[in-house]
């Protein structure tokens, strides 16, 4: 790496801010999740296969959350650094050079973030184990095991996630034209091309993930644990369905998100309060900003709800006769929060990165005569609309996952009277609502101070 490239990497604050913490968090959570496999050592031999599979499914969900958050963050950083790339392009940087330079920057950030994340994971895994042991009262001997596999796996996974994000971001960097350096506002990709890019990226990621989930994991596990083969495959199918649903809703969001927002917000009394109308317009027409927040909240709500849905289906299985241990229940709940944590962190970082556009917007609104209260209310309305819309979509996804899980488990069950609606538990339904409230609170908590800062700044 040349000195110029290194200086550029160190000075790209947006990239460090957006991608760094997310990748570090993903690495830490992956280390912890891997380490939780040591839980199995303390459990009965005949349950190990199912539990390995359960861990694998949850790990896949964590990775999906990390993938979504990281890809969105890196992509948006690439879009926001177009001017910087254009300045280099006008000095003679080729498109492939710009693309390579951006990829190297992302991977540099990822390497540092992975190292940090693994250190954090190493330190916190034993704490998580002790918590589970304490909560399950009876497995005091459990210990976190952060072995070489966990470290290597976390490093490879983090770099892999960064590579997917970097590939999308690099395509953005490649498309920058030198003329953009001379424009007041850089050229924006047309809506169609943006949608195609999202669909292609999400489709590729989905296909890869599906291949891993459906082929590798059940194959390995069923070879080792023959008696539980059917249940393993069912559990994996449920996880795969969740992943596919998340990817589908995520990829298709540019097409349906603005329409959905415009449809249900018709009922808001926006003609009485101009700030509601401004918030609605912000949510429906600030396409890029909205989609970033929408997707992150959506994936978080969907994953949390679906994970809990699978978890409750398993609990129903347990109630019906198959033995489960308390440690499994607690670890299930702990792991259900993991995707939420990744995604909510992503939401906050997204909003932080979009702070500039919000400050500009506050300034323009003030120039139009809006009061400070109207600007803040518009910001809150926008966050509310995005969170509610994402949650509505996520609840549909949770319902589908609950149904597929229930049907799957009922089919493999030995007792014919198990209900097909095993996954429909009120708590699973509450999870997206909880994520909605948390997401809205976080978006509001970050957006409102930003808007308030915009209000304090001079108009010119």
Partner 1 sequence: MRGAKHPLHVFAGVSLTLRAGEMLALVGPSGSGKSTLLRCLAGLEPVTEGHVVLLETNLARASRSTLAAMLREEVGLLLINPPLVPSLTALQNVELPGRLAGRSAWSNREVSLRTLDELGARDWARKLPEQLTPPQAAKISLARLIAQHPKIVFADEPTGRLSTSDSKLVLRSLKKLSDGGAAIVLATHDLHLASQADRVITIVDGALGATLERPSAEEVLAALDQTAYGSDE
Q: Whole-number minimum distance, CB 275 to partner 1, in Å? A: 9
Positions of E strands within 231-324: none
Structure tokens at 247: 């990817």
Q: What is the DSSP letter of 205?
A: H
Is 93 within 8 Å of 327 (Cβ atoms)? no
**Distance between CA atoms of 66 and 345, rounded to whole angstroms?**
10
Cβ-based nearer residue to partner 1, 338 or 370: 370
Structure tokens at 23: 């990748």
Q: Is 179 in the site for partner 1 (CB under 8 A)?
A: no
Instruction: Name the segment binding partner 1 (CB under 8 A); options: 107-115, 169-177, 205-213, 283-291.
Output: 283-291
Cβ-based nearer residue to partner 1, 134 or 285: 285
Q: What is the DSSP letter of 183?
A: S
- Site track for partner 1 across 240-279, x = CB under 8 A: -------------------------------x--x--xx-
Q: Whole-number minimum distance, CB 70 to partner 1, in Å? A: 26
Residue with tokens 């490093």: 155
The residue among 213, 266, 259 whose CA lies nearest residue 236 is 213
- Site track for partner 1 across 305-344, x = CB under 8 A: ----------------------------------------
Exposure of 379 by Cβ count < 10 A (0-12 exposed, 13-18 middle, 19+ buried)? buried
Residue with tokens 């990497």: 9
**Distance between CA atoms of 86 and 165, rounded to whole angstroms?**
20
Instruction: Name the segment binding partner 1 (CB under 8 A); options: 21-29, 233-241, 281-289, 394-402.
Output: 281-289
- Site track for partner 1 across 440-459, x = CB under 8 A: ------------------xx
Cβ-based nearer residue to partner 1, 145 or 262: 262
Q: What 3 state SS string does 24-81 have?
A: HHHHHHHHHHHHHHHHHHHCCHHHHHHHHHHHHHHHHHHHHHHHHHHHHHHHHHHHHC
Q: Whole-number minimum distance, CB 290 to partner 1, in Å? A: 9
Q: Is 215 in the site for partner 1 (CB under 8 A)?
A: no
Is 352 within 8 Å of 17 (Cβ atoms)? yes
- Site track for partner 1 across 364-393, x = CB under 8 A: xxxxxxxxx-x-------------------
Q: Whole-number minimum distance, CB 281 to partner 1, in Å? A: 5
Query: What dihedral angle (degrees, nearest 10) is formed by the CA atoms of 58, 242, 64, 325?
Result: -10
Q: Is 185 in the site for partner 1 (CB under 8 A)?
A: yes
CB atoms within 10 A of CB 290: 24
Size of the site for partner 1 (CB under 8 A): 29
Cβ-based nearer residue to partner 1, 148 or 459: 459
**Distance between CA atoms of 181 and 23, rounded to whole angstroms?**
31
Q: Whole-number minimum distance, CB 460 to partner 1, in Å? A: 6
Cβ-based nearer residue to partner 1, 141 or 458: 458
Residue with tokens 């249900």: 264
- Residues in contact with partner 1 by CB under 8 A are 184-185, 188, 271, 274, 277-278, 281-282, 284-286, 357, 360-361, 363-372, 374, 458-460
């Amino acid at each position: 790496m040349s000195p110029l490239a290194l200086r550029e990497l160190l000075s790209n604050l947006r990239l460090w801010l957006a991608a760094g913490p997310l990748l570090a968090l993903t690495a830490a959570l992956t280390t912890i999740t891997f380490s939780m496999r040591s839980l199995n050592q303390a459990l009965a031999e005949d349950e190990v296969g199912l539990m390995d599979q359960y861990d694998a499914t949850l790990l896949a969900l964590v990775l999906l959350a990390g993938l979504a958050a990281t890809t969105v963050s890196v992509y948006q950083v690439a879009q926001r650094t177009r001017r910087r790339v254009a300045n280099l392009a006008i000095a003679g940087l080729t498109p492939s050079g710009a693309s390579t330079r951006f990829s190297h920057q992302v991977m540099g950030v990822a390497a540092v973030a992975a190292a940090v994340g693994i250190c954090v994971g190493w330190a916190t895994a034993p704490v998580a184990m002790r918590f589970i042991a304490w909560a399950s009262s009876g497995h005091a001997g459990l210990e976190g095991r952060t072995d070489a596999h966990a470290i290597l796996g976390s490093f490879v996974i983090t770099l892999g996630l960064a590579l997917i994000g970097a590939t999308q971001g690099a395509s953005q960097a490649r498309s920058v034209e030198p003329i953009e350096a001379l424009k007041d506002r850089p050229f924006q990709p047309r809506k169609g091309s943006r949608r195609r890019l999202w669909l292609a990226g999400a489709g590729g990621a989905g296909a890869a993930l599906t291949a891993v989930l459906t082929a590798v994991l059940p194959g390995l596990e069923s070879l080792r644990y023959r008696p539980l083969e059917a249940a393993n495959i069912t559990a994996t199918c449920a996880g795969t369905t969740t992943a596919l649903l998340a990817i589908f809703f995520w990829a298709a969001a540019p097409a349906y998100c603005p329409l959905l927002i415009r449809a249900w917000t018709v009922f808001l009394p926006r003609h009485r309060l101009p700030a509601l109308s401004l918030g609605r317009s912000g949510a429906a027409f600030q396409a890029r900003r909205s989609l970033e927040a929408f997707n992150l909240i959506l994936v978080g709500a969907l994953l949390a709800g679906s994970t809990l849905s699978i978890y409750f289906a398993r609990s129903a299985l347990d109630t019906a006769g198959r033995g489960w241990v308390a440690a499994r229940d607690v670890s299930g709940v702990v792991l259900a929060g993991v995707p939420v944590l990744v995604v909510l962190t992503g939401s906050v970082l997204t909003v932080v990165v979009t702070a500039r556009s919000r400050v500009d917007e506050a300034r323009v609104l003030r120039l139009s005569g809006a009061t400070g209260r109207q600007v803040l209310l518009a910001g809150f309305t926008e966050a509310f609309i995005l969170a509610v819309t994402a949650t509505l979509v996520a609840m549909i996804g949770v319902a589908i996952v609950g149904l597929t899980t229930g049907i799957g488990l009922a089919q493999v069950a030995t007792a014919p009277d198990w209900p097909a609606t095993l996954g429909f538990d009120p708590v699973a339904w509450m999870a997206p609502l909880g994520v909605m409230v948390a997401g809205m609170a976080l978006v509001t908590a970050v957006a409102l101070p930003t808007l308030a800062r915009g209000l304090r700044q001079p108009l010119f």
